[in-house]
Structure 1
Amino acid sequence: MLRLTWVQPEDLIGHELRQARQDGREPSAVAARWHAAAGPEAPLTAGASPTPCSPYLRLLAGDLLDELADLPSTLAEHEPTDLAGIVSRCPDWPATTGDRAPASVTVSRLEAAWLGRAVGCLLGKPVEKLPLPAIRSLARAAGNWPLSTYFTARGVPADLLARHPWNRRSATCSLAENIDGMPEDDDLNYPLLALLVLQRHGRGFTTSDVARVWLDELPAGRTFTAERVAYRNLLSGLEPPLTARHHNPFREWIGALIRADVHGWTNPGDPAAAAERAHRDATLTHTANGVYAAMFTAAVIATAATGEHDVHACLRVGLTVVPSRSRLARAVRHAVGLAHEHADAGFDTVVDALHATHAATYHWVHAVPNTALTAAALTHAGGDFTGSVCRAVSGGWDTDSNGATAGSVAGLLAGTPDALPERWTAPLKNRLATSVGDFDGSGFDTLARLTLLEASRP
């Protein structure tokens, strides 16, 4: 039987119960009804439980999802989703340069950013979904710890691989011995979609324009978590921003963050504009901290794109577009502080502290811990390319997404493709696989030129 992932009510309810507790709602009564009916817990790593539930449980789950949506939140005052509310809670919101961002980014810097994003994603792909101890054990067994290059199965004992198998979909194309160009991944598909949105609708694009491009160009099977729920909601006739809220327990997960790079790349030196455009994109699928993660990332990247600031300044600017009392802002400040405090120690110390703080509360794909980890990795590495991507991936959680974002920022700071070590970029063969639009087989140099056109467009 087909077990459709990320959309079945009985698989969503457990995630929504957890999300409700995180965003200040009291779900105990609803949880008691679900457990009394023998409803299953949320799947830990997959998008669907292994066996179908009864028709009764499916109907009950749908009803309970509606009840949870109506519960009041004690955090609503500090964590709005509308842009005006966000800006009003950001006392240091940056000044904008106007409707047109200055074209102060170079095609070489953009190519380094595209390459950096691909490298970081590829590094993290084989260990996605693995627990932190497994990542460390696999790397150590291959003599690759602290992490310094792509993962490999060479030299890793068979019994260790049996206990901690690589990501099933990724091992054949992302281990060092198997890499042959950049394989398809949602962490690269979404920047391509954002580029298409700008090409077709310009800087004034709307959230509905994003939805139209998705429906035209993004296969439903290439979406996951919040994006798949929003896709389903669109096909059910719902419109943004309801697409982000209806039966969507993943609305604060990492999906909007991984779509933010292009908005930063095309608004160099204008973090306010980058954040505002990331907000338009993100609210198709996300709310509150899920949106803030995208805005933070876009602002960091817009600041880095000019080549005039170090990574610490970029991260400080990123925080100016996040409500200061939100969970995401607090988590990022804490993570950056840890990285500074342990600057002379191994990054493992920082990672262990972050996991001790967040792992029991948040799902491993949630935006709050992953954004914090990425900020800590960039800080601890001082923006160095290899140090940034390796630290981001070595910290676990959503390894390929964190590696991709760290690689994008560090690639911008490096400034040119030649500044990225060849051991990272040569296996990519300047070739990207994708099912989005006409981009399959594109080179990163071509993507950089297309991005520069959008950065220069009025």
Structure 2
Amino acid sequence: LDELDAIPRPLACDEPDDLDEILAQADPAPARSAVDVGERIAGAWLGRAAGCVLGKPVESIPREGIRAIAEATDNWPIAGWFTAHGLPEEVSERWPWNRASRPTSLAENIDGIPEDDDLNFTMLGIALLERCGTGFDALDVARIWLDHLPAGRIFTAERVALRNLLEAYLPPESATRRNPFREWIGARLRVDAYGWAAAGDPVAAARMAWADARVSHTANGVYAAMFMAAAHAASLSESSAAACAEAGLSVVPARSRLAEALGTARSLAGEREWEAVVDELYLRYGNYHWVHAINNSALVAAALYAFDEDFSGAVSAVVQGGWDTDTNGAAVGSILGATLGPGGIEERWTAPLGSRLTSSLPGFDGIELDELVRRTVAVTATPAAA
């Protein structure tokens, strides 16, 4: 890994690390006034939880396995929670459920919102904003990681970065030292809270996402976080998911690999049926690891463009698409939940979840969704701490 780190990056000019250079190579969307903030944040939390739980039991199962499971249980195209009831033994043996999620995330056993890193990091973002306001930097992120993150509940780039922090390697070195996962999806799943705090301002959201992401990621791993944060910010001001995707794309460097993938997703979503869109994304980006930032972000963008104002269609389609199913379901669910509000999410997605979250983060286990919404609204547009 040290030898690989010494090799110059051939795309460094097109994929900068400095925030000002990143934004100079992008075309950021202007800020717009947020509307119905409390209602939209409530929808975003509900949508994030529902999309996450839908994707949890099939996380790491290839696309063909997801389809085999769903077809065998009369749930294709996906229209509801996965179930083991009626699943033939030969299918379950070939495509075993995600071991950690099976006891909590199937139709027959969902009882509240189970723990997931996609939800833990969103709550940690709220805690960071409560502590530091919107003017935090990467060192503030590092401190709250050291204070709150249980090492056994984080993975890949985040686990490497936490180890580096414990060995006194500070950001941005914490992201680059012996970290082969630096362009994977981890930073992208951490940024919902920053988008909500920057309500309607994609650039402000992207700045916070950059500060967080550089603790553990570089290049497209960082840009994916900026893309997602800007989209979440827009979800509090825009009326369509497609407009949120546009806001997200606007903060990504135009010549980066991520920008190319997002642009491709936009074009495909306007031209083809969903399964054909996903086929083409796999053809173009299937060489990336199933938790890489580029392929997963392209899939999320395609779902936002294709299903615009259809919560069920969007979360079901993005989970059907495979790769990082719970993270992508959570991202799409959050955006559509915000733009549509809680009333735009069918009860079949919300009733089994109840109102409480399970978490290993200090102070968050058993927290009520209403309390999370209240705390999220309280940090919206919080000024930088003195």
Identity %: 53
Query: Superposition pairs for residues 385-400 of structure 1, below 5 Å?
Result: 385-400=311-326
* Cα distance between partner residues in 2 of 1:95 and 1:317: 9
Number of equivalent positions: 383
Query: Superposition pairs for residues 172-211 of structure 1, below 5 Å?
Result: 172-211=103-142
2:217 aligned partner: 286
1:383 aligned partner: 309
* Cα distance between partner residues in 2 of 1:454 and 1:275: 16
The aligned amino acid for 2:326 is D
- 1:439 and 2:355 aligned: no
For 1:412, which of 321, 338, 342 is the aligned residue?
338
Q: CA deviation at 1:418?
A: 2.8
Query: Conserved in 2, the CA contact under 8 Å of 1:240 and 1:283?
Result: yes
The aligned amino acid for 2:358 is A
* Cα distance between partner residues in 2 of 1:452 and 1:348: 37
Query: Conserved in 2, the CA contact under 8 Å of 1:331 and 1:372?
Result: yes
Q: 1:330 to 1:159 in 2, by over 3 A?
A: same
Match of 2:323, SS state, is: coil
The aligned amino acid for 2:212 is D
Q: Cα RMSD (Å) of the superposition?
A: 1.2
Please give the TM-score of this superposition, normalised by the length of structure 1: 0.82
- 1:373 and 2:303 aligned: no
Query: Conserved in 2, the CA contact under 8 Å of 1:105 and 1:452?
Result: no
Please give the TM-score of this superposition, normalised by the length of structure 2: 0.97
* Cα distance between partner residues in 1 of 2:381 and 2:219: 30
- 1:349 and 2:276 aligned: yes
* Cα distance between partner residues in 2 of 1:117 and 1:311: 14
* Cα distance between partner residues in 2 of 1:313 and 1:241: 32
Q: CA deviation at 1:421?
A: 0.7
Match of 1:341, SS state, is: coil
Q: Which has the larger radius of gyration?
A: 1
* Cα distance between partner residues in 2 of 1:238 and 1:327: 28
1:422 aligned partner: 347
Query: Conserved in 2, the CA contact under 8 Å of 1:411 and 1:420?
Result: yes
Gaps of 5+ in 1: 1-64
Match of 1:174, SS state, is: coil
* Cα distance between partner residues in 1 of 2:29 and 2:214: 21
Query: Conserved in 2, the CA contact under 8 Å of 1:103 and 1:456?
Result: no
For 1:259, which of 190, 194, 197 is the aligned residue?
190
Q: CA deviation at 1:178?
A: 0.8
Match of 2:270, SS state, is: helix
The aligned amino acid for 1:313 is A
Per-residue CA distance 1:56-91 (angstroms, 9 max, x = gap):
xxxxxxxxx11110111210000011101101211x
Query: Superposition pairs for residues 235-254 of structure 1, below 5 Å?
Result: 235-254=166-185
For 2:240, which of 310, 318, 334 is the aligned residue?
310
Q: CA deviation at 1:301?
A: 1.2
Q: CA deviation at 1:94?
A: 3.2
Match of 2:262, SS state, is: helix
Query: Superposition pairs for residues 134-145 of structure 1, below 5 Å?
Result: 134-145=65-76
* Cα distance between partner residues in 1 of 2:180 and 2:36: 37
* Cα distance between partner residues in 2 of 1:139 and 1:348: 15
Match of 1:202, SS state, is: helix
1:452 aligned partner: 377
The aligned amino acid for 2:218 is T
* Cα distance between partner residues in 2 of 1:445 and 1:123: 21
Q: State the structure with bigger RCO (CA 8 A, min sep 6), 1 or 2.
A: 2
For 2:94, which of 144, 163, 168 is the aligned residue?
163
